[in-house]
Amino acid sequence: MNISVFFNRSVKMKKQLKTVLFGISLMLTIISCDTEEAQLAFNDIPVVESYLILTKPVSVKIARKTPYDYNVVLSDENLDLLQVKILFNDQIRLIPSVGNGEYKDATFIPQEGVTYKLEFEFNNQTVSSSTEILSKPVNFKQSVTQINMQGIDFSTRPPTRPAMPDPVKLSWTNDDNSYYMVVIENMESAPTAINDYGDREPPGRFFRNAPTQTNQYEIQSMHFQYYGRHRLILYHLNADYAALYNDTGNSSQNLTNPTTNIENGLGIFTGINADTLLLNVIKP
């Protein structure tokens, strides 16, 4: 299992996951035609991003909610001088700052099934959230371990599209209607594209589905863009992550804050577990 791919690819995932990662702070604006009203309405609260992962050290990122009106006076809280704590099993761990609003503890590895509570003070309020790492997906299976893919023949007019292989069927046990998400990533260091993109920018090397409460997923062959080995990663998610993922965000007609599980703050503090299968895409 290589659960780290979900996080190592976070820069690209931010563009696709709507507002799930740190870019969420960009959408947290309060629109007002009157500066004084905006100053009164704005609440200076932190935006938290933290994923607890088995075998990975605890990491917490903290940013500020962004006001629309730059005349708003923010609190004097220093994002690098907060007392960030995680409480569990009658223990308290103080997470040290590494700068830029990020807190890490290389010796703190979270465990499955333990409830963790994040807590720190910000602008005279206690910011907190609780989560746990759910169980590893059970009975994660695939219908095939290899598929043959032929690229589009652009030498003909119109281009000839080859017959597509059957979808790759994934299945797992989901007796309690938990949330799951599938991420597919090409593992090759220099993958060969299935189709010739010419001067166009080639597509990304991973794709995913939205969180689902089902126990199966079909990967359509057309979604594969490269030959080689692929990771098929199944994430077992807490409901709070799924809610934030599916949040439609703010607009000028909807000035509510997005979904969050942070008390006196915004963002996400959640545990994630995963299992991984492998698939090879080859040229006939």
The per-residue pLDDT for range 26-36, each reduced to its tens digit, is 444 433 344 44
Measured CA to CA, the distance from residue 198 to residue 139 in angstroms comes to: 41
On whether both 71 and 29 belong to a single domain, the answer is: yes
pLDDT average, residue stretch 224-228: 94
On whether both 88 and 142 belong to a single domain, the answer is: no
On whether both 58 and 185 belong to a single domain, the answer is: no
Lowest mean pLDDT among 19-23, 113-117, 226-230: 19-23
pLDDT average, residue stretch 106-130: 97
pLDDT average, residue stretch 97-121: 97
On whether both 128 and 185 belong to a single domain, the answer is: no
- CA 230, 244, 267, 16 dihedral sign is positive
Q: What is the mean pLDDT of the chain?
A: 84
pLDDT band at 159 (very low <50, low <70, confident <90, very high): confident
User: Coil, strand, or helix at residue 37?
Assistant: helix
Enclosing domain of residue 12: 5-135+239-271
CB 51 within 8 A of CB 271: yes
On whether both 159 and 251 belong to a single domain, the answer is: no
On whether both 103 and 26 belong to a single domain, the answer is: yes
On whether both 55 and 189 belong to a single domain, the answer is: no
* CATH assignment at residue 189: 2.60.40
Measured CA to CA, the distance from residue 148 to residue 165 in angstroms comes to: 7
Task: Report the number of distinct structural domains present in the chain.
Answer: 2
CB 118 within 8 A of CB 263: no
Residue 272 in this model has a pLDDT that exceeds 70: yes
In this structure, the strands spanning 115-122 and 46-53 are: unpaired
Residue 214 in this model has a pLDDT that exceeds 60: yes
On whether both 82 and 197 belong to a single domain, the answer is: no
On whether both 18 and 77 belong to a single domain, the answer is: yes
On whether both 129 and 145 belong to a single domain, the answer is: no
On whether both 108 and 164 belong to a single domain, the answer is: no
On whether both 231 and 267 belong to a single domain, the answer is: no
CA atoms within 13 A on the CB side of 82: 33
Measured CA to CA, the distance from residue 100 to residue 97 in angstroms comes to: 8
